[in-house]
Amino acid sequence: MSIKINDLEYTYSPGTPFEHQALKGVNLEIPEGKVTAIIGQTGSGKSTLVQHLNALLKPTKGSVEIAGFQITPDTKLKDAKMLRKKVGLVFQFPEYQLFEETIAKDIAFGPKNFGISEEETNQRIKEVLPLVGLDESYLERSPFELSGGQKRRVAIAGILVQDPEVLVLDEPAAGLDPQSAKEMMNLFMRLNQQAGKTILLVSHDMEHVLEYCDEVIVLADGQVKTQLPVHEFFKHPEILREIHINPPGIVNLKETLQNKGFQINPDTYSLDELAKEVESQVAGHE
Amino acid sequence: MEAIALDHLSFSYDGENPVLKNLSLTIPKGSYTAIVGHNGSGKSTLAKLIIGLLEPGAGQIKVLGQTLSDENLSQVRDHVGIVFQNPDNQFIGSTVADDIAFGLENHCVPTEDMQAMIEESAAKVGMSAYLDAEPTNLSGGQKQRVAIAGILAMAPDIIIFDESTSMLDPQGKASVNAQIRKLNQEKNITILSITHDMEEASQAEQVVVLDQGEVAAVGRPEDVFMNEELMSRLRLELPFALKAAKAFQKAGLNVSPVLSTEALVEELCPSK
Amino acid sequence: MNNIALGRYLPMNSLVNQMDPRAKISILFILMIAIFIPAGFWGYVPIVAFILLALYLSKLSLSFAMRSLKPMMLMMVFLLVINVLVMHTGTLLISWGWFKVYSDALVQTAYIVIRLTLMIILCTILTATTKPLDLTLGIEKLLKPFEKIGLPAHVIAMMISIALRFIPTLIDETNRIMNAQASRGVDMQNGTFKEKISAVLSLIVPLFVSAFDRADQLANAMEARGYDPSRPRTRYKTLKMTSIDYIGLALAFLVLAIDIAIAWL
């Protein structure tokens, strides 16, 4: 079932001098089983929108339909708890949410809160560990003796163990070196392709958006600016420039080539194909 | 004269696992050097050693001709500034002006001289309009530029960037990278940038690749990055323009390894 | 959070805003002494007059000052109850079976409530008209004479100003961790005692871990920029007393003198 967002409005600190409307009537339908990118500048309403997906925030107006739940301004926190199991939210720098003495306990913290049996939890931990690239020898160690990248894997395991239907990721690769970032993204891609999880990715990294996402949603000033399939989206780099984000390298290169008079197939997004196209035209000139 | 000379440097946090092994390296005055390598390659440890936050287990560090010791540490630090990774955790003042003033206060600059120095440094990093702004109202990129201004006020010879852009969004990254280039070219400040952003590393004059505490390669960025064996062994990502140049070469096009998209396209059609 | 009046700085361009923090802190100190002089109810008249003048000059409304008392209301009621229960002197006012109210209980409570109210309003005016950093600087300068007897005034001031600087950062961090743990099923409001303990731990431990991380990095950054607590420093911000400050101080001394006169002459 897809995620539906209807006329969603949200206002911070209503009725005070600090009142600020972060979402101004957002309408979206996000497909199930796909990887969808949410992009926009700081202050565009991205993080406010994301916090509605598991009812950390309740709409001021409008509604969110997700994973069989409907969140409206009248939703009670108690009803939202099981929603949070089904919609896993990974915040930026999740390594800062670890707190238990052992990695096993930390990963089991979520399931315990959601009332999942210990037996099932232990089973799930065994399944989740290899997914994030850790093994069982880690379980009894303290999370605080790990490196930054490993801590983040543990924190993500703590969300995956809930077996959520939808995963919302806020800059999951921020601050990692390119190699670790790649491994992290590949992990999420496996979850999408093999386990069919719906993934929402909030990211500034356009290379990642182009490489890993199926659809792109652009937010600007609390509203949806565009929603397009990824390859359609990157045919319009001007949208990105309007929100001061640089297009991916290949999109830049295609543009530069076109400006120099090369004929480039707009659907080309691989360097090797692009090179062949260019080669045929240079050869033609000579 | 070398800005920084490292001579057979070794370091370990716990006495067992060496972080730096017998490392020797020279950084010429006025140069722009990027140090790349994986997390755990010893990059950030190196930065802390050079400004004396850590002491080497063995070997020598020479900064501007002086061998680093307890006696001359504060004197050497007058010439070396460092911008760290986390923009929030190095913003000490309550406002931009106060933060830029912090270093001046520590060096007992007379109060009446400060305002002009603060304004001048803020102007150099494009933060003049924000002198009274508080850190909560600034973006990460702006905070890092304030950190740079705080260092510039001290008129340093060397600035070290320790993964200073890794927590920034692309816009912030671009603005700080542009700033770094400008400092090197216009002010002739020696830049040592520790980074895993290959796009940034490719704007340096010299790239040093660290691997497990040892220097794996030193050279011009295009030479180092075109060393296929090294790059794949250390699983380092190529900057985009080089990736494209390689793809073009593979397709039979006659292009040389260049570091920008524009230069690459220029190579294809010099006549156009 | 947004309704708290006590301790919040309001960026307004008033006469009191422009005053030297040293003068304002000293005035607060002088009036505190006046408040505690046993001059009877008449003794509060000059103090109240001074406060009303200060409120007027600082462009603060009386209701803003009153709002700062809110957190104290419960304490004042509690005080009244205690006094009524333990004080059995003066004239008997009410008597319902075992429950008796004597006049002294009411008079004593009234005194304490008046003192507390006046002090809180004074503090509110000070913090509302003085930037936290200026306040710190004022404290540092006023403590300067005590450096001779070993009081590290500038270190104390540096600690306070860094604490103030990081309060908003830590509030953001708290919100982020709370959201992250709520996403893992933590319910801060409901649940058994044991669940609540683990909920609090899941917030406190990460907060401490990150605060220590920050402290470590901050110490490095400060050291790299040449900070050494044992060495002298110059200051960017300087303070200058003007005629308004002297008039304010003189008025405060006048209030104190009147109260001393009422009490002992």
Q: Is the pLDDT of residue B266 over 80?
A: yes
User: Is any Cβ of chain A less than 8 angstroms from the Cβ of B17?
Assistant: no
Q: Which among B38, B237, B253 has the least Cβ separation from residue A278?
A: B253
Residues 6 or more apart whose CB falls under 8 angstroms from that of C134 comprise C21, C237, C239
Average pLDDT estimate for B56-80: 91
B40 compared with B189, residue with greater pLDDT: B189
Q: How many residues does chain C have?
A: 265
Q: Give pLDDT, residue C101.
A: 87
Q: What's the order of all strands across the beta sheet hosting A3-12?
A: A20-30, A3-12, A61-66, A69-71
Contact state of A278 with B262 under an 8 Å Cβ cutoff: no
**Closest approach of chain B CAs to the CA of C240, in angstroms?**
13
Do B16 and B181 touch, CB atoms closer than 8 A?
Answer: no
Strand B80-83 and strand B32-36: the pairing is unpaired
Which residue from B92, B231, B83 is spatially nearest to B145, judged by alpha carbons?
A: B83
Residues A253 and B261 sit within 8 Å (Cβ to Cβ)? yes
Q: Which of B40, B264, B268 sits opposite A282 (nearest CB)?
A: B268
In the chain, the amino acid numbered A35 is V
> Residue A204: is it exposed, middle or buried by C-beta count within 10 angstroms (0-12/13-18/19+)?
buried
| Burial class of residue C32 in the structure, from the number of CB atoms within 10 Å of its CB (0-12 exposed, 13-18 middle, 19+ buried) | middle
Contact (CB, 8 A) for B148 and B91: no
State the SS3 of chain A.
CCEEEEEEEEEECCCCCCCEEEEEEEEEEECCCCEEEEECCCCCCHHHHHHHCCCCCCCCEEEEEECCEEECCCCCHHHHHHHHHHEEEECCCHHHHCCCCCHHHHHHHHHHHCCCCHHHHHHHHHHHHHHCCCCHHHCCCCHHHCCHHHHHHHHHHHHHCCCCCEEEEECCCCCCCHHHHHHHHHHHHHHHHHHCCEEEEECCCHHHHHHHCCEEEEEECCEEEEEEEHHHHCCCHHHHHHCCCCCCHHHHHHHHHHHCCCCCCCCCCCHHHHHHHHHHHHHHHC
Phi and psi, residue B108, nearest 5°? 55, 35
Sheet hosting strand B2-12, strand order edge to edge: B18-28, B2-12, B58-63, B66-67
pLDDT surpassing 50 at residue C212: yes
Task: Assess contact for B207 and B225: CB atoms under 8 A.
Answer: yes
> What token pair was written down for B205?
């004059």
In this predicted structure, the answer to whether residue B192 has a pLDDT above a threshold of 80 is yes
Say if residues C240 and C20 touch (Cβ distance below 8 Å): yes
Q: Which residues contact residue A256 at a Cβ distance below 8 angstroms, ignoring those fewer than 6 apart?
A: B261, B262, B265
Q: Please list every residue in chain B whose beta carbon sits closer than 8 Å to the beta carbon of residue A275.
A: 244, 247-248, 250-251, 253
The answer to whether the CB of B192 falls within 8 A of the CB of B161 is: yes
> Is C143 an interface residue toward B (CB < 8 Å)?
no
pTM for the full predicted model = 0.86
**Which of the two residues, C245 and B1, has the higher pLDDT score?**
C245
C169 and A CB contact within 8 Å: no
- Identify the three-state secondary structure at position C74: helix
Q: Which of B169, B240, B261 sits opposite A42 (nearest CB)?
A: B169
Question: C233 in contact with B at a CB cutoff of 8 Å?
Answer: yes
Cα–Cα distance between A168 and A151 in angstroms, integer? Answer: 19
CB contact under 8 A, A96 and C209: yes
Q: Which of A105-109, A128-132, B137-141, B234-238 has the lowest mean pLDDT?
A: B234-238
Nearest to B103 by CA among B56, B60, B152: B152
Amino acid letter, A240: L
**Residue range B102-130: average pLDDT?**
95
- Residues A27, A227: contact at Cβ < 8 Å? no
Q: Note whether B111 contacts C234, CB cutoff 8 Å.
A: yes
What's the pLDDT at A52? 95
Chains that touch B (3 or more CB pairs under 8 A): A, C
pLDDT at residue C3 greater than cutoff 70: no
**Nearest beta carbon to residue C236 from set B51, B101, B135:** B101
Judge whether A97 is closer than 8 Å to chain C, CB to CB: yes
Q: How far is A99 from chain C (nearest CA, A)?
A: 6
Please tell me the distance from the alpha carbon of residue A202 to that of residue C61, in angstroms, as a whole number.
45
Using the predicted structure, report yes or no on whether residue B127 has a pLDDT greater than 90: yes
Task: For residue B195, give how far its alpha carbon lies from the nearest alpha carbon of chain A (Å).
Answer: 9
Q: What is the pLDDT of residue B164?
A: 94
Task: Search chain C and give the residue with CA nearest B92.
Answer: C162
- pLDDT classification of B205: cutoffs 50, 70, 90: very high
- How far apart CA B223 and CA B257 sit, in angstroms, is 9
Q: Taking 90 as the threshold, does the pLDDT of residue A167 lie above it?
A: yes
Instruction: Output the pLDDT for position C1.
Output: 40
Please say if the pLDDT value at position B272 is more than 70: no
List the beta strands (DSSP E) in C97-207: 99-102
pLDDT at A283: 66
d(CA B249, CA B268): 11
Is C172 in a helix, a strand, or coil? helix
Yes or no, beta carbons of A84 and C187 under 8 Å apart: no
- Please give the Cα distance from B105 to B108 (Å, whole number): 5
Q: Closest by alpha carbon to B37, among B157, B191, B198?
A: B198
CB A97 to CB C205 under 8 A? no
Chain A nearest CA to B118, separation (Å) = 28
Residues forming a β-bridge with A189: none
Calculate mean pLDDT across residues A8-34: 91
**Chain B contact present for A95, CB below 8 A:** no
CA B172, CA B179: separation in Å to the nearest integer? 11
For residue C91, the model assigns a pLDDT of 86
A205 part of contact set with chain B, CB < 8 Å: yes
CA-nearest residue to C173 within chain B is B88
CB contact under 8 A, C225 and B51: no
Q: What's the gap in Å between the CA of A273 and the closest CA on chain B?
A: 9
pLDDT tens for C215-245 read 999 999 999 999 988 888 898 988 889 999 9
Averaged over B67-79, what is the pLDDT? 89
> What's the Cα-to-Cα distance from C184 to each of A139, A141, A174, rounded to whole Å?
19, 21, 21
Task: Tell me the residues of chain B between 113 and 152 that have a Cβ less than 8 Å away from chain A.
Answer: 139
Q: What is the mean pLDDT of residues B127-152?
A: 94
Burial A251-263 (b: 16+ CB within 10 A, else e): bbbbebbeeeebe
Question: Mind telling me how many Å the CA of C8 is from chain A's nearest CA?
Answer: 14
Output the pLDDT for position C6: 61
- Kindly determine whether residue C217 and residue B77, on different chains, have CB atoms separated by under 8 Å: no
What pLDDT is recorded for position A161?
Answer: 95
* Residue C135 parent element (H or E): helix C132-143
Which residue in chain B is spatially nearest to A182 when comparing CA positions?
B237
Closest residue on chain C to B88 (Cα): C169
Kindly give, in sequence order, each residue whose CB lies less than 8 Å from that of residue B100, ignoring residues fewer than 6 positions away. B93, B118, B121, B122, B146, B149, B150, B153
Report whether pLDDT(B167) > 60.
yes
Q: Are B21 and B190 in contact (CB under 8 A)?
A: no
Q: CB of C17 within 8 Å of any CB in chain A?
A: no
More confident: B100 or C103 = B100
* C184 interface with B at CB cutoff 8 Å: no
Residue C118: pLDDT band (50, 70, 90) is: very high
Predicted confidence (pLDDT) at residue C255 exceeds the cutoff of 70: yes
Report the pLDDT value the prediction gives residue C4, as an integer from 0 to 100.
54
Q: Strand B66-67 relative to strand B80-83: parallel, antiparallel, unpaired?
A: unpaired
- Report the interhelical angle of C70-86 vs C103-129 (nearest 10°): 160
Q: Do C18 and C244 form a contact (C-beta atoms < 8 A)?
A: yes
Mean pLDDT computed over C20-24: 95
- Average pLDDT over chain A, rounded to an integer: 92
Mean pLDDT, range B115-134, rounded to an integer? 95
Is this complex scored with an ipTM above 0.85? yes
- Is residue A76 less than 8 Å (CB to CB) from chain C? no
Q: Which two tokens stand for residue B65?
A: 């001709």
What share of chain A has pLDDT > 90, as a percent? Answer: 78
Tokens of C71: 């957190």
Q: How far does the CA of residue B114 sit from the closest CA of chain C (Å)?
A: 6
A195 touches chain B (CB under 8 A): no
Cα B227 to Cα B210: distance, rounded to the nearest angstrom: 14
pLDDT at C5: 58
Segment among A93-107, A233-247, C78-92 with least mean pLDDT: C78-92
Q: Which domains does chain B have, with CATH numbers?
A: 1-79+158-168+183-221 (3.40.50.300), 90-155 (no CATH)
Distance from the Cα of B262 to chain A's closest Cα (Å) equals: 7
CB pairs under 8 A between B and C: 90
Average the pLDDT over each of A74-83, A242-251, B93-102, C167-176 and give the range with the smallest value: A74-83
CA distance C189 to chain A (A): 9
Q: Chain A residue closest to B252 (CA)?
A: A279
- The span from the CA of A271 to the CA of A257, in Å, is 13
For residues C164 and B150, the model is more confident at: B150
Q: What three-state secondary structure class fits B209?
A: strand
C213-233 burial by CB neighbour count: b if 16+ within 10 A, else e? Answer: ebeebbebbbbbbbbeeeeeb
Chain B: residue nearest A241 by CA? B171
